[in-house]
Amino acid sequence: MEETRILATERDRIGRDLHDRTLQSVYATGLLLNAAHDLLAQSQNEAASATLSQAMTTLDQAVDDIRRHIAELRLQPTSLGLAEGLTQLARDSVLPSMVELDLTLDLPEAQPFEVGQISHILAIAGEALSNVARHAQARQAQLVAHMENNCFCLTVTDDGQGIPPDYVAGYGLRNMRDRARLLGGELTIHSQPGQGTRMQLTVPWEVST
């Protein structure tokens, strides 16, 4: 029941983001293109060029949003192994087109996670990468997954602007913590303004055996 609630909440959030952000960006781009058309008709080439440039920037943002939402939706359910899923997630997310993303995986070939547990891990990783893309203004980011002290550890770090002191956790962060709890693990986030952010998921290996 809790997993169903989490999935429903995430789908509601994605639908709301598509309506409130992506569709509005596409609509705004259409208005800008219409304005550029009118300016060209009036032979105001410089103004038209600036308006078209703004339209393309807005459209690029909309495309990035759509790619991110598609990547999030593809996480559930999954038939991928953990390493394969993390590799695909890093490749398909919008982040590599914005910052330099380093992926480091050091996982045993035989791993005990079930399909549902892998989906939770990929969803947490996807949300962390999405947060870097949307908020961090980073130049470099790193995703590392390895074993340490009989635990699975997933870490996402960036060199961005950090989380503001007055930040209020939204649906994304709450769902990450809910998923970590369902995995029997712990989610920690360390951040200081101007010094980047580090998100770490730790799951005891024996929990999944």
Residue 106, classified by CB atoms within 10 Å of its CB into exposed (0-12), middle (13-18) or buried (19+), is exposed
What's the pLDDT score for residue 209? 40
155-176 in b/e form (b: 16+ CB < 10 A) is bbbbbbbbbeeeeeeebbbebb
Q: Are residues 57 and 100 in the same domain?
A: no
Say which residues have a Cβ less than 8 Å from residue 81's Cβ, sequence separation at least 6: 111, 118
What's the pLDDT score for residue 42? 73
What's the pLDDT score for residue 114? 86
- Give me the number of domains the chain comprises: 2
Supply the pTM of this predicted model: 0.67
What's the pLDDT score for residue 47? 72
Six-digit token string for 148: 């340490």
CATH number for the domain that contains residue 192: 3.30.565.10
What's the pLDDT score for residue 24? 65
Q: Which portions of the chain are predicted below pLDDT 70? A: 1-8, 10-13, 15-21, 23-25, 27-28, 41, 43-44, 48, 63-65, 67-79, 94, 206-209
What's the pLDDT score for residue 199? 97
Structure letter (DSSP) for residue 133: I
Domain that holds residue 193: 82-208
Last residue of a domain, one of 23, 44, 73: 73
What's the pLDDT score for residue 19? 60
What's the pLDDT score for residue 196? 95
Last residue of a domain, one of 73, 94, 112: 73
Q: Are residues 99 and 199 in the same domain?
A: yes
